[in-house]
Chains A and B, each alone.
Chain A
Amino acid sequence: MTAVSVERGVEALRQQVDASVASYMSSCIHCGLCAQACLFYTETGDPKYTPQRKLEPLYRVWKNDFTLLGRLASMAGLGCKITDEFLDEWEELIYDSCTLCGRCTMACPVGIDITAVVRKTREGMVASGHVPEGLIGAATRAVEGGGPMGDLLPALKAVIRRSEAATGIPVEVDKEGAEYMVILSAQETVGFPEIVEAYSKIFKQAGVTWTISTKAFEGTNVGIQIGSRDIARTLVQRVVDAAEELKVKAVIAPECGHAYTALRWEGPNLIGRTYEFDVVHITELVDQLIKEGRIKFKGKHKSKITYHDPCQTNRRGGMLNPPRAILAEISENLVEMEDAGLWNWCCGGGGGVGANERADELKTKVFMRKKRQLDGVKPDELVTSCANCRNIIEEALDHYEIDLPVLGLTEMVAEYMETDEIEEPAADKAVKGEDQ
């Protein structure tokens, strides 16, 4: 097996060129409007972060190898050069200063999906070995240890025990034939374990059967973040194998942006087939349960909240309405930040930036955009539905010494949901639950 090299990188990039890429590369007239859409430019003022620049590696490969003029130029030795130094220079642009948030894609007047091109370009960066150390570490841990933070099975077991103790609702692990299989984000397992309690309560109330596989409970897919189809495929395959073994109807993607993208949108293409199960995002499912009348609420959140749209589930994922439909049920004082919704700004740590320690300073700097958005509405609490956003935002709020609690949407649902337990003693309830 050959080591990673520029040649392998170029080969990987070559495989990423398709009609859409060729159309995009033929369209850019260097207008630079994308810069205004990118928080890495708006918050630093450094033109090198202009999203357009991030097209360059794939542009060179396309031009050299997929156009007549480029082929002729290459034959004459006048082709665009792709060297280690060039890729080194671009590594920062492709990883440290892009969260794949998709705003540039929305802003480009000629319609270039810059985000998709950056995602594709990461394939070449991986194959040529131009990847930040932090992501390599996370990827290695994910492939070899089960998750980006290593093997979290013991931690998961502890989380499940705590949830069962707190709610009195048992969590059935590895249960074949359950309707849903839950996967979690490593951030949730480690940082926001209350989510399992929320799942228990909501599904119990709604009469939904669910399980967690001990073989594949990790939703985080570092392969998508680092931009390697090969690594991503390995990680997706684990979930697919487990879900198909347990014959579940659907896998619930967690409150984690790219986990949804990885399983819902990229996964089938990575393994080359559709799954034998559906993929549904937890927010989407909760919204559906509310609409079906299977969960009801006993009151509303009173304090002033605002909702941060996670880029991958919202703009890039298609979950435009469910979060606000849910919030309308459980909150009476929702204020919207400027640009909320389809055009919301990224927390600054998506797309693998959060796992890339080298980008910490930049990540913190560009959070200023979110800070200004928050300053504009001055909420009492911030709600979001992505564990990574939540983590990044909490860290940044700490850094800027802002006292603003960050809540998870699903946990809020569990909190305001009307439960049958109010009438019944907890112990009876637990027994009854087991009988079902």
Chain B
Amino acid sequence: MANKPILKEVLRDRGVSRRGFMRYCATLTSLMALPAAMAPKVAQALEGAPRPSVIWLSFQECTGCTESITRSSAPSLEDLIFNAISLDYHHTLQAASGHAAEAAREAAMKAQDGKYLLIVDGSIPLGNPGYSTIAGISNEDMLRDAAKGAAAIIAVGSCAAYGGLPMADPNPTGAVSVSQIITDKPVVNIPGCPPIAAVMTGVLAHFLTFQGLPDLDELGRPVVFYGDTIHDRCYRRPFYNQGLFAKGFDDEGARKGWCLYELGCKGPVTRNACATIKWNGGVSFPIQSGHGCIGCSQPDFWDAGSLYTAVASPTADITPVAGMAAAAGVGAGVAVAALNAQSKKKTASESTPVTVQELGDKQ
């Protein structure tokens, strides 16, 4: 720890001005939905924070999450944060490979036992450990081993958080999420395919500032970023309210920027910060570019019906069911009608005229 400079020194070395740093802290504060008065506290905490050791494990994943966090226009705030941590193991980014790389991970785990942050992307195959191994170690074993000494575990991306695409039906590898294996420690889920870079760094900043985890919802997501649905915050929401919907991707409605609900937008059932933080440095997000939200940050999003079917529309073809039901209805109806006709006929043939004598007798 003594050999790790604190963030303030790193920033100074990289030529970041005090003003720039304070602006960053203000942005972070606002992102984390903290009162503006908290900004100096965030700055103070970040300035004094030692660079924590981070071990990043990548399992069944596509590297999209890493791309998302690193592919931001430089010099970015995300970049700054990544300089504020000591990324001791990340097999895509680190220079070392092979035994040297694994040795670095083991060394970090040992040296920073109980203090390091464990970040995971990708799902873990339980169907057969051989589906995904690193240096001959199964993903599950490596995760369990690394999780033991972690101060906190962050599952980045929908695969790590909820199993993601590898878990999509029929889930050939028996993929599971991090939280399905690690049940004795809180796991922060930062779902998304990929997640928004600022959300990832925001969580890190929170950890650095408060030395703890942010408030999580029932799905382990930081409430500040995942509290609202895309639909709640969508700039096209007024069109939904007015009942103005694009019916195709190149029609009048689409050109006018109307609501994409009918084109299958999953905004209403998707919790994420895309509509507010947006992507690529706040330039745009899928709906703004004319495509509905596909709900990538939701569990099982790949199996939640067609991407182009409205979120409340039926996912199943009802034609065969309807045909069978109608046929059964005809069958049952004809049967009942036959019984009815029979009983009416029987009743009519059996009935005898009522006479006034009979009525008189009753009296």
Contacts and interface: CB of A to CB of B under 8 A. Distances in A.
Interface of A: 1-4, 8, 11-12, 14-15, 17, 65-68, 71, 126-127, 129, 131, 133, 136, 139-140, 143-144, 228, 230-231
Nearest to A230: B353
Contacts of B339: 71
Interface stretch (B117-125, B154-162, B260-268, B344-352): B344-352
Interface string B325-358: 0000000100010011001100110111111101
A143 B350 CA distance: 24
A136 B352 contact: no
B12 to A, nearest CB: 79
A15 B351 CA distance: 9
Contacts of B362: 3-4, 129, 136
A129 B336 contact: no
B361 interface: yes
Nearest to B357: A140
A111 B150 CA distance: 75
A231 B354 contact: yes
A68 B352 contact: no
A230 B344 contact: no
A71 B360 CA distance: 34
B356 A144 contact: yes
Nearest to A226: B359
B363 interface: yes
Contacts of A131: 359
A71 B336 CA distance: 9
B332 A230 contact: no
Given A68-B332, A71-B336, A14 B347 contact: yes
Interface size class of B (residues with CB under 8 A): 20 to 34
B331 to A, nearest CB: 11
Given A65-B343, A71-B339, 12 more contacts: A4-B361, A4-B362, A11-B350, A14-B343, A126-B354, A127-B351, A129-B358, A129-B359, A131-B359, A139-B359, A228-B354, A231-B355
A126 B354 CA distance: 8
A228 B353 CA distance: 9
Contact of B348 (A15, A127, A133, A136): A15
Most buried by A among B344, B353, B354, B360: B354
Q: Please report whether the interface of chain A is mostly helix, strand, loop or mixed according to DSSP.
A: helix
Contacts of B332: 68
B336 A140 contact: no
A11 B354 CA distance: 12
Contact of B344 (A17, A133, A140): A17
Contacts of A139: 356, 359
A4 B355 CA distance: 9
Contacts of B340: 65-66
B360 to A, nearest CB: 6
B334 to A, nearest CB: 11
Contacts of B353: 230
A127 B343 CA distance: 18
Given A129-B359, A136-B360, A230 B336 contact: no
Nearest to B339: A71
A230 B339 CA distance: 26
A157 to B, nearest CB: 26
A228 B351 CA distance: 13
A264 to B, nearest CB: 23
A43 to B, nearest CB: 30
Contacts of B360: 136, 140
A272 B360 CA distance: 27
Contacts of B344: 14-15, 17
Contacts of B356: 136, 139-140, 143-144, 231
A8 B348 CA distance: 11
